[in-house]
Amino acid sequence: MRPAEIERRSMEIIAQELGAREITLPAENAAVIKRVIHATADFDYAASLRFTPGAVRAGIAALRGGIVVTDTNMALAGLSRRALELLGAEKRCYMADAAVASEAKTRETTRAAVSMEHAFRDHAAPIFAVGNAPTALFAIAGAIEGGRRPALVIAVPVGFVNVVEAKERVFAACETAGVPCIAAFGRKGGSSVAAAIVNALLYEAAGLADPALR
């Protein structure tokens, strides 16, 4: 089978299994949730992914000419280059920047937190896709509480230390400030989940939902 055929068949299986589990996805969020399940083979995301009202619509709109900032180069590498190009969008990860590393060392904090601060300095309304570092989410939450307004926050770190708390805080900050947010509540997540969510939005925005068009 060709890659496009494999993806179509995978999505058919996902739809069938969701039906067997008597899970009905909200229409607006279905493409994102299915893309994450496709990336992870984990149906728990049908329940654990949470969306602020209109987050998917806002994310699709923001990707047209926008910039996606990730907290890992792994997530960055996983984003659809073709879709980004079609939309005139950019992608960036600050984690390997020498200035970020130096500042983090001086301040005795994490590069992930400083990375988010640098992104806010360089871009008026970035789209954040965080799949690894809770400290990145704490930095984003603090900035939102201080008045900054990113275009979208994707909060899906994986792990055990401060992961749940970071997701809950940034989601609450986004709800209060009216910032669109998609979060995977609980411990599960990861860079592949962050990339899957961005790609789901990219495909919708660029008209590439059909895998044969990619």
C-alpha 62/C-alpha 40 separation (Å) is: 25
C-alpha 51/C-alpha 162 separation (Å) is: 20
Exposed, middle or buried, 81 (CB in 10 Å: 0-12/13-18/19+)?
Answer: exposed
The catalytic site residues sit at: 38
The residue assigned the tokens 């739809």 is: 15
Q: What are phi and psi of 153, to 5 degrees?
A: -120, 120
Q: Name the amino acid, one letter, at 136.
A: A
Q: What are phi and psi of 132, to 5 degrees?
A: -135, -40
